[in-house]
Amino acid sequence: MTSITKILTHAFEKDEGHVHINMKEKPYSNPYLVGVGLGLVLLAAFVIMGRGLGASGALSTAVAVTVNKVAPEHAAQNNFYKEYVGDENANPLMDWLIFQTLGVLVGGFISGTISHRVKKEIEKGPRISTKMRLIYAFVGGGLLGYGAKLARGCMSGQALSGGAVLNLGSWAFMMMVFVGGYAAAYFLRRQWI
Amino acid sequence: MNAPFFKFDYFSTDVSLIIAFAIGIAFGIALEKGGFGRATILASQFYFTNMRVLKVMFTAIVTAMLGLYFLSVIGFVDLSLVYLTQTNMLPMVVGGLVAGVGFVIGGYCPGTSMVAIATGKIDAVVYVLGMIFGIFVFGEMFPSIENFFNSGFMGSVTIPSYFNLSYGLVVFLVVLMALGAFAAAEWGEKKMAAKTGKEKL
């Protein structure tokens, strides 16, 4: 599969100067402009819904609903699962964050397609093998999942949304994300640079 | 008309899900346009080579904060009806540290990993599988860590209320801090570019 992707990529590269010049990946937008756009989206969420954006919540619901399906008695004894499954009257999947997260997938795909940035690939630095990169991706995802649940939210729900409403705990969370990130960066430099 | 609209029952819960989907699309477009669908760009924040994460994030926070503050001052938005996650200081500090380390190891945060999947990044798919596993482990451990999870409870508390400062003053200080951070980021990027001789992504 990887080799097919490679062949396809090369085919397009060769054609670039001739027919497929519009296939070239467009550069990313000015970060300050994107920031204003993102801020307005967040503001819209506050004004329309009275709540901010989120990301990890949708996966938590998915996990809780799955555990509840497989082992309902086990889930019923656990306050974490119970909160995400909710009461029996409402379908837990008809949830704001689940629909918002589905929107993020669609929005990311639309924007990526328009700018010719949708490409099957593995993001990594030049000095790390694909296998190690995927192991790191899994471990990092695991830590993020665990940490976000401990902190009652992730970069979207806490740092971004809580940051804009000057939530004390959200700012503490945000600062600690940068502290943790910069502290770990040195030891992980082989993965990225 | 008063805002937040949903809190004044201007539309039903079903309609709110359509709104959620629409806002999600805009959120996804913004993240993708910012370059947040790429782990290499996100990680470069921690090596001072490309400070996009900081620039986008602080600009977004300042924009939404100023907008919300302005709309509350003119009486359009009732700030007390805008949801504030409760603060449990210790678990949030520990969770932030774990999430920060996980960010550099995994290369994404939960929201950006969705955009990365949408634009074909295989490592993001693996990352999300890891995240599901991490949430499951948290869930299974929950009965034994429930006390810690609920420790350090401070209720719904903002920086102005905690430090007994006016809301407007804190808004002003955050704007100043962001401008300082932007200046430092631009300066740092130039320094790093001169040092490594590489162009930023």
Question: Which residues, including other chains, have CB under 8 Å from residue B10's CB and lie 6 or more apart?
Answer: B1
pLDDT given at position A18:
43
Q: In the structure, what pLDDT confidence band is assigned to residue A3 with cuts at 50, 70 and 90?
A: low
- Residue A21 pLDDT exceeds 80: no
Q: Please identify among residues 82-121 of chain B the ones whose CB lies closer than 8 Å to any CB of chain A.
A: 82-89, 91-121
pLDDT given at position A22:
52
pLDDT given at position A89:
80
pLDDT given at position A132:
96
pLDDT digits (tens, 9 = 90+) for A113-172: 999 999 999 999 999 999 999 999 999 999 999 999 999 999 999 999 999 999 999 999
Read off the pTM. 0.91
Angle, CA of A44, A53 and B85, to the nearest 5°: 110
- Residue A6 pLDDT exceeds 80: no
pLDDT given at position A19:
43
pLDDT given at position A88:
79
Q: Please identify among residues 107-136 of chain A the ones whose CB lies closer than 8 Å to any CB of chain B.
A: 107-112, 115, 117-125, 133-134, 136
pLDDT given at position A87:
84
Residues of chain B with pLDDT under 50: none
- Rounded Cα gap, residues B109 and B99, in angstroms: 8
pLDDT given at position A191:
92
What percent of chain A has pLDDT above 90?
83
Q: Which residues of B touch A80 (CB under 8 A)?
A: 138-139, 142, 146
